[in-house]
């Protein structure tokens, strides 16, 4: 995790014009141009990027957002419209099928290989809590021996995670145990059992 944090921090600090950060954006689809063998990234932002936004609201947002710099679903083309020679996926959820909102539209041939290698995926829930001032907690992360909470990490300890205007607030991300998440998922499914909509 420290290596990844260092890489992201170095990229954000660099003055390299070829680097761009798309904050508040989720990759919704990848497209490989068979002619050029280059990848185009398509993203969605705002409320449409949240995993729990109902499909009807996402579709309404996408219809209103259609423009020249967006694809047919109203998603933004990220970065170079000519595409990239390669991409790096850092979240295994991005290789899930359309049933999961975190899916990045990874080609099924690649997604199948990822799922075979990773094996069973465990669900987790997370919540962010913001304090108006410093909490006084003397660590950046803590784990718990608890049936509900697995660990918590201070977001302020990660460079670039908290916008400058909110830097005086202290934010913690709390992550559930897999067992708690499974119980809640079984209690309240993510998708409508008849239509498959979120």
H or E element in which residue 4 lies: helix 2-13
Distance between CA atoms of residues 182 and 115, nearest Å: 19
- Residue 165's pLDDT band, with cuts at 50, 70 and 90, is low
If we measure between CA atoms, which residue out of 97, 47, 119, 105 comes closest to residue 71? 105
Is the pLDDT score of 139 beyond 60?
Answer: yes
pLDDT of residue 176: 92
In the prediction, which pLDDT does 2 show? 46
pTM of the model: 0.50
Q: CA dist 149 to 12, 125, 174, 195, Å?
A: 32, 9, 7, 32
**Does residue 60 have a pLDDT over 70?**
yes
28-32, 102-106, 173-177: least confident range: 102-106
Closest CA to 27 of 68, 87, 117, 72: 87
Instruction: Quote the pLDDT of residue 190.
Output: 64
């Amino acid at each position: 995790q420290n290596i990844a944090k260092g890489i992201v921090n170095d990229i954000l600090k660099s003055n390299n014009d070829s680097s761009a950060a798309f904050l508040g954006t989720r990759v919704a689809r990848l497209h490989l141009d068979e002619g050029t063998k280059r990848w185009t990234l398509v993203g969605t932002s705002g409320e449409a990027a949240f995993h729990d936004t109902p499909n009807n609201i996402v579709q309404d947002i996408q219809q209103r957002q259609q423009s020249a710099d967006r694809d047919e679903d109203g998603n933004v083309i990220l970065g170079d419209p000519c595409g990239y020679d390669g991409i790096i996926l850092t979240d295994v959820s991005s290789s899930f099928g359309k049933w999961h909102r975190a899916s990045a539209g990874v080609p099924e041939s690649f997604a199948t290989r990822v799922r075979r290698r990773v094996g069973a995926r465990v669900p987790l829930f997370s919540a962010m809590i913001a304090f108006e001032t410093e909490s006084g907690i003397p660590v950046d992360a803590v784990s718990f021996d608890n049936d509900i909470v697995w660990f918590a990490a201070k977001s302020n300890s990660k460079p670039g995670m908290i916008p400058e205007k909110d830097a005086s607030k202290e934010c913690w991300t709390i992550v559930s145990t897999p067992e708690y998440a499974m119980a809640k998922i079984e209690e309240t499914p993510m998708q409508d059992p008849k239509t498959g909509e979120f």
